[in-house]
Amino acid sequence: EKHVKYQVELKPGSAGLTDIFKRKGKVLGANDTSAAVGYAPMTRTEKIVLQTEKFLNSKEFKKRFPESGEDIKVMGFRNNSDLKLTVAMAFVDRFINSEEDYFEKKAKILDEIHKFVAVNTDFEIVGVQLNTLDVQGRGLGGLYLTVLGTSADSGDSGQVGRGNRVNGLISLNRPFCSEAAAGKNPVSHVGKIYNVLTYKIAQHVYEEVPDVEEVYIWLLSKIGSPIDHPAVAAAQVIMKGNNNLSKVKREINDVLDNELENINKFCMELALGKIQTY
């Protein structure tokens, strides 16, 4: 309220898209032609990257380290059984008294990250670095210091795209949806709905079908068609051992059908904020 100015604007949507809400039917039509993909399970690298970010942004951590901002990026690189984490964390300037104080507090936070990662993963070698652009003796130019605890007050804004994947991760060796979920309505905008739903279905398949080792779910909408009837609903799976796909095909289809039949309930949970979309 003190450092940020908000400009809120409400404007009418296009006639064609707003008419979707006036048409009859238990399920709304899609307001876009869009494709999405989700997967399960996460790799151990993905898990520790996400867990580390959540740990650093938890209420408990902020209470212990109020100088730590919420703009946090965790980059993970695995090479066989070796893991390297590079963390970027904005510091809040009002909690920093001097350059010396900054580096002392940074060292304490880095130590906490080391302890957390050591307990929560089983990599043979783990390396962690924090704010690697920092250089002692360069004053403000050598520190990651902000007013708000985010990079926004320096003009480095990712808007609703970069860094806002619905599962909290940007995994470069995985297929992912190019749609940003933020800022889209949760009842007809498939760029939000399918984006989140594919991950939910993938996790459901992974949990319900024990012979599946890895699963990818693909959904494709057609503008105007009911969102519970996608143009494409497909599952791509990797089986455990020598198990045959034909053995589990029906189970996977049942999960897909059940999730799509209950899409209105899912959309309501999205609308009520019960499902995190990052």
Q: Cis peptide before 41, with omega less than 30 degrees from 0?
A: yes
Q: In the Cβ-directed half-sphere of 150, how many Cα atoms lie within 13 Å?
A: 13
CATH architecture of structural domain 27-42+167-271? 2-Layer Sandwich (3.30)
Q: Which of 60, 45, 276 is nearest to 164 (CA)?
A: 276
Q: 62-106, pLDDT tens digit by residue?
A: 999 999 999 899 999 999 999 999 999 999 999 999 999 999 999
| Domain regions of the chain by residue span | 27-42+167-271, 44-154
Q: Taking the CA of residue 190 as centre, how many other CA atoms within 13 Å lie in the half-sphere pointing to its CB?
A: 29
Domains 27-42+167-271 and 44-154 belong to one CATH topology: yes
Contact 80/199 with Cβ under 8 angstroms?
A: no
Residue 219: count other Cβ atoms within 10 Å of its Cβ: 26
Give the residue from 216, 168, 144, 206 showing the smallest Cα distance to 48: 168
CB 49 within 8 A of CB 22: no
Give strand ranges (E) for the chain: 35-40, 68-79, 82-92, 125-130, 145-146, 212-220, 232-239
CATH number attached to the domain at 44-154? 3.30.300.340
What is the pTM for the complete model shown?
0.89
Per residue of the chain (278 residues), what is the pLDDT tens digit? 677 788 888 888 889 888 998 888 899 999 999 999 999 999 999 999 999 999 999 999 999 999 999 989 999 999 999 999 999 999 999 999 999 999 999 999 999 999 999 999 999 999 999 999 999 999 999 999 999 898 777 665 555 555 568 999 999 999 988 888 888 999 999 999 999 999 999 999 999 999 999 999 999 999 999 999 999 999 999 999 888 888 899 999 999 999 999 999 999 999 999 998 87
